[in-house]
Structure 1
Amino acid sequence: MNTHRDSARMDDSAYRRLVEGISDYAIFWLEPGGAVATWNAGALHATGYSAADMIGQPFSLLFSGEDNGTGAPEALLDTALREGRSELDGWLLRKDGSRFWAQILIDPVRDGDTPLGFGVVMRDRTERKRLDEELRRSQEQFRVLVQGVADYAIYMLDPGGHITSWNSGAERIKGYAPEEVIGRHYSAFFTPDDVARGEPTTNLEAVAREGRIETEGWRLRKDGSRFWAHVVIDRITDDTGKLIGFAKVTRDVTERRASAQALEQAREALFQSQKLEAVGQLTGGVAHDFNNLLMAVQGNLELMRDHAELPERLNRLVGNALTGVRRGVSLTQRMLAFARRQQLHLEPVNVVTLVSGMSDLLRTSLGPSIAIEVRFPLALPDVMGDINQLELCVLNLCVNARDAMGEGGIISIQAATEAIGTAHLLHLAPGDYVRLSIADNGSGMDATTLARATEPFFTTKGVGKGTGLGLSMVHGIVQQSGGALQLESGDAGTTVSIYLPVAPSEATALPVSTPTEPRRVNRQAVDVKGPLPVILVVDDDPLVLSTAVEMLNYAGYDARGAASANEALRRLETIDELVAVVTDHAMPGMTGSELAARLATIRPGLRVVLASGYSELPTAAPGIAVQLQKPFGRDALLAAIRGNG
C-alpha cells in the first residue's frame, strides 16, 4: 500500500514538473470561483505575471476592463460547467499592459456533481493573428483589385464549370449582373455551334489535365451579340493537389482582331501589288523586245508580199505568216496592258454611250443563252480613258462572265458615281470616279482563285480556251488610266468593278497613229523631181532600224539610219533637206522625246514621229507631231510621216 502511495506521489511530482516546465503553453489551474491555483512557466512567458503575482488572484485579471464589464471571464467558466468545455480566441492583457491574442481552452474538473475547479490551457497566438490579418487584408485587396478591373472578365468556376464569382469587368463585357450569372454553367457564353461540338467541356478537361489553356473564339453577350474573346483558364488545386475549381480571364479583343485583319489585308494587298509590279516589269520588258522582233518580221513580210513577181502560193504563205504576226502583236499588247506600258489615247469617254454602242457586238459575242441587263443612272459624268481599250475591257469581262456561267445566265452591267476619300482599300487617289460593274450569276471563285485572278497567264479554262491575260489586261489598262479593279466573288457569282476617274472639264490628248492591217499594194514612189526626200530613222535595235529604213526606201524615200540620238544629231549636220525624223523612244543616252525637244530648237517645224510600244511618254512632249505605236507596218509608218493617219 505504501509503495503504491509513493509511486503515485512520484507520478504526481513528475507531472507537475512537466507542466511547470512547458514554456510554449500557459497551463494553470483555477479554483471553482475563478482564482488561480497554479501557474507554469508558459503562463509567465505569455503574460509576464509570475506565479507569485497570480496565485490567489482572479482569472479575470488577464481580461480588459471592457471584457470584465461584460462578464466575459465568468461566462467562459459558466459555459465550461454547462457544456463541458469552453473556448475563446481573443485579446488578453499582459502584466505590462500590452495586449496579446490568446487561444484559450477551459475544461471543468468535477468530483461527481461537485466542481473541483478548471484546467486552463492558453497559447499566445499574436503572431499568428498578425499573419492572419495580413492574409485577410491581402485577400481583401486582391478581391477589390479583381472586382475593380473593368477591361478583363475575371471569375471563378467550380470543378463542374459553374460560376462562383463575378467581377465588374465580366459584367461590363458580358452584360450579366452577378446575381444573374453566379451558379450558371459557363457554357452559356459559347455559341450554339461551339456548345454542340462540346468545346466548353473539352476546354475544362484540357485545363484539368494540363494546368492551363489559352484560346480565342466567338463568345456571346447577354443581349445575344457576339464578341471575339481572348481566354485564359487556369487550374486551381488545394494543398493536396485536389482540383477545387478554375480561374478564368476573358478579354474582348474584337477591335484588336479587326485591326489585325485590316493590317493583314493591307500587307497582302501590298505584297500582291509588289508581286504584280515585278511581274509587270518582266512582262513589259519581254513584250517590248518581242514587239521589236515582230516589227522586223512584219515589215519584211510586207515587203516580200509587195513584190509583183512573188508567186501566188508564196503570197498565201506570206499572208499566213502575217496573220501569225498579228496574233503575236495582239498577245504583246495584252502583256503591255498588264504591265501598264501600253500606249493609251486618253480622252473623255461616256460610259453609257460606250456600252450602248457595243450592244450588237456583245449580243453576237456572248450568244443567245446569255441575257444582258444594263442599269445606268440618268446622269453619268464622262471618264478619262482610251475608248478602244475600254471597249476591249468590257468585252473581255463579259466573255469571262459568260464562261463562268456554263449553260447560260444573266450578265448585269451597272454604273454609278463614287467619291473616293483617303485611305481607300484600292489605294485610289481621292477624287470622283465612275464605278462600272459587270456581274454574273455563275458559281463564283474560291479564295485561292480570287487571289490569283489578275496574275498574267493564270486561267481556269481548259487548254486552248484562254491565254490567262484577259483579266490581267483589264487590270493593267484600268490602272494605267488612273483607276482600279475590284473583284468580289461568292456562291451567287462574281462581280468585277472598274473604277475610272471622272474626266476634267477640259481634256486633250496627243494624236496617236494606230497600226493598220497590212495589205498587198504595188510600190508607190514619191512623185518628186530631183533628189528623193530624206527621212532619218533613229533606233538602237539594228533589226528594227534596217527594216524601217528598207520600208521607207521601198516607198520611194531616201531613208537613212542612226543607231542613237547623238548619232542622229551628228548626221543632221550633213543633211539639209530633211522631210521627217522617225525615232524610237526608249534608247540609251538620250530618249526619243529628248531628241524631239532638241530638234524643235535646232530644226523648228521638222516633223518628228515618235515610235514606242510603251506608254511612258509625256502627254504633251515638245516637238512631237505624232506617236506611232510599235509594232507598226508600212502603211501606218507612211501615214504618220505624211500626216494623213
Structure 2
Amino acid sequence: MSDNNKSAAIEEMRFRLLIDAVVDYAIYMIDPDGIITSWNSGAKRFKGYEEAEILGQHFSRFYTADDRAAGLPQRALDTAIREGRFEGEGWRVRKDGTNFWSHVVIDPIIDPNGKLLGFAKITRDLTDRKMAEETLKQSEQQFRLLVQGVTDYAIYMLSPEGRVSNWNQGAQRIKGYLPEEIIGQHFSIFYTPEDRERGEPQRALAIATETGRFESRSWRVRKDGTQFLAHVVVDAIRGETGTLLGFAKITRDVTEAHQAQQSLEKTREALAQAQKMQAIGQLSGGIAHDFNNLLTVILGNLEIVQKRIGDDPKIIRLLENATQGALRGVSLTQRMLAFARRQELKTESVDIPQLVQGITGLLRSSLGPGIRIDTDFPEDLEPVLADVNQLELALLNLATNARDAMPEGGSVTIAAQREVVLELGHTELAAGRYICLSMTDTGDGMDAQTLASARDPFFTTKGVGKGTGLGLSMVHGFIEQLGGRFILKSEKANGTTAELWIPVAGEGTTAKALFPPAAPIVVPRLSVLVVDDDSLVLTSTSLLLEDLGHRVVSATSGTEALALFDRGEVIDLMITDMAMPHMSGAQLAHAVRVLKPDLPIVLATGYAERLEGFAAQLPRLPKPFTQLNLVEIIALSMK
C-alpha cells in the first residue's frame, strides 16, 4: 500500500471515529434508495437501534405511520436532490415505539462525475425544546383565554406609540368598541377633550416609560360619548435587551364605587350635621330654659315694683325700659326654643291664604315699597295643622331675609301647592299629605357654602349686631316640630326659595287654646304650693301669688313637697317646675295624684316637653310668665 493510500485510510478511520464519537446527533448514510449504510453512536443512543439491527433497513421506518402513508420520506429525498438540501422538523419513532421530535438535515452525496452516491443524514433530538414550546404555547393560549374571559377589566396592549394592538371582552364591555373598530387606533381616543388638550395620554406613557408604571383615577369616554370614572394602570413592557416593546394597560370602571363612596360621604356629612344640630339644639334648649328662669324672676319682680312705686316719671321710665329689655330676652329665648323644637305650640287648623292675607300689611312694612308681593294659591287649598302665631312669625322672618337679599328692590312670590309623600317616596318626611308653602325672592341668592350653613343657629351674613342668626334656624325647628320639613333652594345671582312643608290638618281639627277667652276673672284666696329648685324663681313666683292675696307654701324639691303633704299641710293648688333634679315635675304630679286625686296641679316649664299619661293633660304655665298669666292659669285649674 502506497503512502498516499495509507494516509487516506488513516484519515478515513479518524473521520469515522469522530462521527462515531458524536452522541448528540444521529449521523448516518443512506444509499440512493434510502437504505441505511452507516450508523453512529448518537443514532444508536436516541433511536435505540444497534448498528447490526438497522444497517440495510430503509430509513422510512423512523417515520410515523401517518407520515409514511403521506409519502414524506421519499419527498424529503426528492427535495434534497432537487434543492441540494432538505431540512425540517417532525415526529420520529424510536425502536421501542415512542415518538421524539427531531430536526433533520439530508444532504445528497454526489461524486465528481455528478452521480448520486447516497445521502448524509443528520438528526437531532429536540423533544425537550418541543415540549417546552408546546408548554409555552399552551400557557400563552390559556393566558389569552383568561384575559379574553375577563369582563370586569379592560385589558389590552399598546404599541410604543400608544396604538391599541389587542382588545379583550372587558374592554369591549366597558368602552363599547368592537376589536375591529379600535385595534390600530391611538388610545387617547378614550380621554376627554380637556385631558387630551392637557397632554394627559402622552404624560401617562412618558411616566410608564420612565418609571415602569403609571397609575391614576380619572374620567374616560365610551364609544357612545358617555363618561365613566376609570382606575387605570399602564405597565411598560421591555425585551431582554431593554428595548421598549409596548405597554400593558388595565382599566377598571369604578363609577359605581365612586358614587357609592360619595353617597356614603354625604350620609356621613348629613349624620354629622344632624348630630351637630341635635347637640346645639340641646344646648340652646338648656340655655333657653335657664334664661327663662332668670326672665321669670326679672319680669315678676319688675311687675311687683311697678305696682308699688309712686308716680315718679323717671323711675317709671327706668322700669319700662328694663321690662322692654327683658321682653327682648323673651323673644330671643323663644327663637332658641323654636330651633331646639321645644317651644309650646298651640296647633290648630290654619287656612294659609287667609293667614297670608291677614299679615299682608306687616309683610309690606317688612319688605318696603321697592319690593312687590305676589301670591299664587290654588282653589280649595286644604288647611294645615300649625300654630298661627309661629307660622306668621316664620313668614315674617323669611320676608326679612328676602328684603336683605334685594337691596335694590325686586319681588317676592308666596305660593302653596298640594304634595303627597308616599311610604317609600321620601327619606325625611313621614308618609302623608302636605301643603308646600313657599316664598321665592329675586335677590342675590346664596353660594353652596352659605346655603349649607344658612339654617345653622347663630349663622348670619348681616354683620355683627345686625342679626341674631336665629331666624332660619327658628323656622327650621318650628316646622320640624310640626312634623314637616324646611327646605332652602338657592343659587348665586338666581334668588332663593324657602319651602315650608306642613302637614294637612285632619278632619274636625280645632284650635287648641291654652286659656279661655278673656273675661273678668275672680279667683278666691287659695293655699298654693309652689315647687321649684331655683330659689330665685321660687321667691319671685311666691311674691306674685302673695301679691294676688294667696297663701303660699314653698318647696325646693319634689321630696320636700311630698313631706308637706305627709305633715297634713292644707294645699288647694300645686304649681311645680317641670325640670328638677332627682324628681321631675311630672313625677311629682304622679305621686301627688295618688295622695290627693282631686288636687289641681299646674306644670311650669321653660320649654315644651313630651309627657305621657295624665301629666300630658295638666295645664302648663310657660316661662317666663306674668301675674296675669298666673291669674288665668289658676282660674283654669280651679274649674
TM, length-normalised to structure 1: 0.89
Partner-residue secondary structure (3-state), 2:224? coil
Q: CA deviation at 1:612?
A: 0.9
How well do the aligned residues superpose, as a CA RMSD in angstroms?
Answer: 3.2
Instruction: Give the aligned residue type for 2:74.
Output: E
CA contact (8 A) 1:104 1:121 kept: yes
Distance 1:366 1:82 in 2: 111
- Say whether residues 1:637 and 2:639 are aligned partners: no
- Say whether residues 1:19 and 2:19 are aligned partners: yes
Partner-residue secondary structure (3-state), 2:440? strand
In structure 2, runs of 5+ residues without a counterpart are none
Partner-residue secondary structure (3-state), 1:306? helix
Q: CA deviation at 1:327?
A: 1.3
| Matching residue of 2:59 | 59
Partner-residue secondary structure (3-state), 2:257? helix
| Matching residue of 1:147 | 148
Instruction: Give the aligned residue type for 2:624.
Output: P
CA contact (8 A) 1:609 1:624 kept: no
CA contact (8 A) 1:338 1:476 kept: yes
Instruction: Give the aligned residue type for 2:48.
Output: G
| Matching residue of 1:120 | 121
CA contact (8 A) 2:349 2:511 kept: no
Q: Closer, same or farther in 2 for the Cα pair 1:402/1:158, shift >3 Å? A: farther
| Candidates 567, 590, 594, aligned match of 2:583 | 590
- Say whether residues 1:613 and 2:606 are aligned partners: yes
Q: Closer, same or farther in 2 for the Cα pair 1:118/1:571, shift >3 Å? A: same
Q: Closer, same or farther in 2 for the Cα pair 1:571/1:459, shift >3 Å? A: same
CA contact (8 A) 2:156 2:249 kept: yes
Identify the range of structure 1 (409-418 vs 45-54) with the bigger mean alpha-carbon deviation: 409-418
Q: Number of residue pairs matched?
A: 632
| Matching residue of 2:527 | 534
Q: CA deviation at 1:193?
A: 2.3
| Matching residue of 1:501 | 503
Q: Closer, same or farther in 2 for the Cα pair 1:625/1:47, shift >3 Å? A: closer
Q: CA deviation at 1:45?
A: 1.7
Distance 1:7 1:508 in 2: 139
Instruction: Give the aligned residue type for 1:52.
Output: A
What does 1:102-117 align with in structure 2 at a 5 Å threshold? 102-110=102-110, 114=114, 115=116, 117=118
Q: CA deviation at 1:423?
A: 5.9
What does 1:130-529 align with in structure 2 at a 5 Å threshold? 130-309=131-310, 311-422=312-423, 426-491=427-492, 492-507=494-509, 511-512=513-514
Distance 1:426 1:410 in 2: 32
Partner-residue secondary structure (3-state), 1:230? strand
Q: CA deviation at 1:471?
A: 1.6
Residues 46-71 of structure 1, C-alpha deviations (whole Å, 9 max, x = no match)? 21123333344333232233323333
CA contact (8 A) 1:304 1:310 kept: no
| Matching residue of 1:520 | none
CA contact (8 A) 2:523 2:634 kept: no
Instruction: Give the aligned residue type for 2:389.
Output: N
Partner-residue secondary structure (3-state), 2:308? coil
- Say whether residues 1:89 and 2:89 are aligned partners: yes
Distance 1:422 1:478 in 2: 20
CA contact (8 A) 1:526 1:556 kept: no
Instruction: Give the aligned residue type for 1:79.
Output: T
Q: Closer, same or farther in 2 for the Cα pair 1:624/1:527, shift >3 Å? A: closer
Distance 2:347 2:112 in 1: 123
Distance 2:199 2:113 in 1: 68
Q: CA deviation at 1:179?
A: 1.4
- Say whether residues 1:557 and 2:550 are aligned partners: yes
Partner-residue secondary structure (3-state), 1:512? coil
Residues 256-295 of structure 1, C-alpha deviations (whole Å, 9 max, x = no match)? 3333322222222111111111121122112211111122
CA contact (8 A) 1:593 1:624 kept: no
Q: Closer, same or farther in 2 for the Cα pair 1:24/1:347, shift >3 Å? A: farther
Q: Closer, same or farther in 2 for the Cα pair 1:172/1:525, shift >3 Å? A: closer
Distance 1:348 1:620 in 2: 25
CA contact (8 A) 1:29 1:119 kept: yes
CA contact (8 A) 1:511 1:627 kept: no
Distance 2:626 2:611 in 1: 24
| Matching residue of 1:73 | 73
Distance 2:526 2:125 in 1: 127
Identify the range of structure 1 (4-13 vs 319-328) with the bigger mean alpha-carbon deviation: 4-13
Q: Closer, same or farther in 2 for the Cα pair 1:141/1:69, shift >3 Å? A: same
Distance 1:473 1:92 in 2: 97
Residues 411-457 of structure 1, C-alpha deviations (whole Å, 9 max, x = no match)? 33333333334566653333333333333344443343333322221
Distance 1:84 1:466 in 2: 108
Q: CA deviation at 1:542?
A: 0.5
Q: CA deviation at 1:206?
A: 2.5
Partner-residue secondary structure (3-state), 1:540? coil
Instruction: Give the aligned residue type for 1:633.
Output: T
Instruction: Give the aligned residue type for 1:544.
Output: V
Partner-residue secondary structure (3-state), 1:559? strand
Identify the range of structure 1 (267-276 vs 208-217) with the bigger mean alpha-carbon deviation: 208-217
Q: Closer, same or farther in 2 for the Cα pair 1:383/1:235, shift >3 Å? A: farther
Instruction: Give the aligned residue type for 2:23.
Output: S
Q: CA deviation at 1:546?
A: 0.3
Partner-residue secondary structure (3-state), 1:500? strand
- Say whether residues 1:547 and 2:530 are aligned partners: no
CA contact (8 A) 2:515 2:636 kept: no
Q: Closer, same or farther in 2 for the Cα pair 1:349/1:18, shift >3 Å? A: farther
CA contact (8 A) 1:525 1:557 kept: no
CA contact (8 A) 1:236 1:247 kept: yes
Distance 2:532 2:170 in 1: 75
Q: Closer, same or farther in 2 for the Cα pair 1:220/1:586, shift >3 Å? A: same
Identity level (%): 48
Q: Closer, same or farther in 2 for the Cα pair 1:71/1:5, shift >3 Å? A: same
Distance 1:80 1:343 in 2: 113
Instruction: Give the aligned residue type for 2:372.
Output: A
CA contact (8 A) 2:528 2:571 kept: no
Q: CA deviation at 1:597?
A: 4.6
CA contact (8 A) 2:366 2:399 kept: no
Instruction: Give the aligned residue type for 2:185.
Output: R
CA contact (8 A) 1:426 1:486 kept: no
Q: Closer, same or farther in 2 for the Cα pair 1:336/1:257, shift >3 Å? A: same
Q: Closer, same or farther in 2 for the Cα pair 1:227/1:380, shift >3 Å? A: farther
Residues 156-184 of structure 1, C-alpha deviations (whole Å, 9 max, x = no match)? 22222222222223222322222112111
CA contact (8 A) 2:439 2:498 kept: yes
Q: Closer, same or farther in 2 for the Cα pair 1:401/1:238, shift >3 Å? A: farther
Q: Closer, same or farther in 2 for the Cα pair 1:195/1:425, shift >3 Å? A: farther
In structure 1, runs of 5+ residues without a counterpart are 517-523
Identify the range of structure 1 (216-225 vs 275-284) with the bigger mean alpha-carbon deviation: 216-225
Instruction: Give the aligned residue type for 1:399.
Output: T
CA contact (8 A) 1:513 1:627 kept: no
| Matching residue of 2:38 | 38
| Matching residue of 2:561 | 568
Distance 2:534 2:189 in 1: 76
Residues 45-99 of structure 1, C-alpha deviations (whole Å, 9 max, x = no match)? 2211233333443332322333233332232233334334332111111122221
